[in-house]
Structure 1
Amino acid sequence: MIIAQEIEIEFKNMLKKNEYQKVYQFLPFESVELIEQTNYYFETEDMLLKQQGAALRIRQKNGQWTLTLKQPHEEGLLETHDSLSEDGANLWIQNKMMETPEVSKQLRDLGITIEHLHYLGSLTTRRKEVEYNGATIVLDHSLYYDKEDYELEVEASSQENGKKVIREILNACNIPERQTDNKIKRFYNAKLQSE
């Protein structure tokens, strides 16, 4: 059972491959399972979601398919979720979208109907997660189009703790803070470059 809505507070920092290895060694990532997940992204022809700072994806992870709308929120990001069957997810990917209870309502509030949406493409992430100082620390290696990138993510219950923990890890591993776009922005940029 997934929660219909939640506030996500996270901090991100792009890493070079050697920096990814430093963080991997700094925390006990070796002892945790590698999770592979794929995000399938959706947008309108005129990029209405992007214009409103929102993003829509289906994530396939551990045999579960979840439709998620991310929207700006004063605390972080508001995430609205609906579970999909594998068949339902495949229909979305074939541009045969169906209404869902939570996400469709949020989309209507943004002035978007599912008829406006189309499938953009996918991004696959190899992920490792550990708990550290009251936060979830995530190391991501993502592959999309002909690109790959590495990223450190800190998911925290408060802005204050998230900032503190990511700075602590970056300082310990001697990694500079970098302005980091989220995955969907990086995906959009790669898509534009490939066209």
Structure 2
Amino acid sequence: MSQEIEIEFKNNLTKKQYEELLSSFHIADEMILRQTNHYFDTPTWHLKNQASGLRIRETKEKIVCTLKEKTSKHTHLETTDVLTKEQADSMLNGNAFLAPTVKEKLIQIKVPIDQLAVFGSLTTDRVEIPYMGGTLVFDHSFYLNRDDYEVEYEANDEKIGAQIFEEFLKKFNIEKQIADKKIARFMQALNAER
């Protein structure tokens, strides 16, 4: 189990901007890692209504269950449990909730665990590189027959991180277009298809 504060800044990219950034930073194919997020909520959107998100993330290296709770505009408290493949499968199939620390936190914020269900999945090809004391992230996500691109900057300090990210966008002539969280973009796409 771990708990950490995540400070991140996001901006939408066009496919061309994404490809230009990969080229500018000399990103080789083997540096691009695939991850899949499976999103949970209740039928009455307990988590969404609290500006929170719950996901299981699968990568080649590990599987984790993470609860994200918004604490300020660019900051989230993340509570995470590492899962085995069997535990993840059981949770994805709605058989049991096997992330103990996340479960404890969900109970604290009054989310009915027995009503949680997966409402969709989103796959991202991700690159993470060190940049100016933080981490620069280039993402290409695909879900519900859509593709989108974004850049993130993860920092240890909200004020300094905001300044570094502003300068990064200016340096690469990227118009400021604040990106929603992946879960929010997924929900918008899901609602558009209904």
Q: So what's the TM-score if we normalise by structure 1?
A: 0.93
Q: How far apart are residue 105 of structure 1 and its match?
A: 1.0
For 1:32 and 1:159, the matched residues in 2 are separated by: 31
Q: How far apart are residue 41 of structure 1 and its match?
A: 0.5
Show the counterpart of 2:84.
Answer: 85
Superposed CA offset, 1:27-53 (max 9, x none): 243386111000000000000100000
Q: Is 1:137–1:152's contact at 8 Å kept on the other side of the alignment? A: yes
Superposed CA offset, 1:22-77 (max 9, x none): 22233243386111000000000000100000000000012311000000124710
Instruction: Kindly report structure 1 stretches of 4+ aligned residues shifted beyond 3 Å.
Output: none
Show the counterpart of 1:140.
Answer: 139
Q: So what's the TM-score if we normalise by structure 2?
A: 0.94
Q: Is 1:49–1:55's contact at 8 Å kept on the other side of the alignment? A: yes
The answer to whether residue 57 in structure 2 is matched with residue 55 in structure 1 is no
Find 1:64's aligned residue among 58, 62, 65.
62
Q: Is 1:137–1:153's contact at 8 Å kept on the other side of the alignment? A: yes
Q: How far apart are residue 100 of structure 1 and its match?
A: 2.6
Superposed CA offset, 1:99-127 (max 9, x none): 43210111011111320101111100001
CA RMSD of aligned residues (A): 1.5
Show the counterpart of 2:43.
Answer: 45
Structure 1 residues without counterparts, runs of 5 or longer? none
Select between 183-192 and 31-40 the one with higher mean Cα deviation: 31-40
For 1:50 and 1:33, the matched residues in 2 are separated by: 33
Show the counterpart of 2:162.
Answer: 163
Show the counterpart of 2:32.
Answer: 34
Q: How many residues align?
A: 193
For 2:164 and 2:29, the matched residues in 1 are separated by: 20
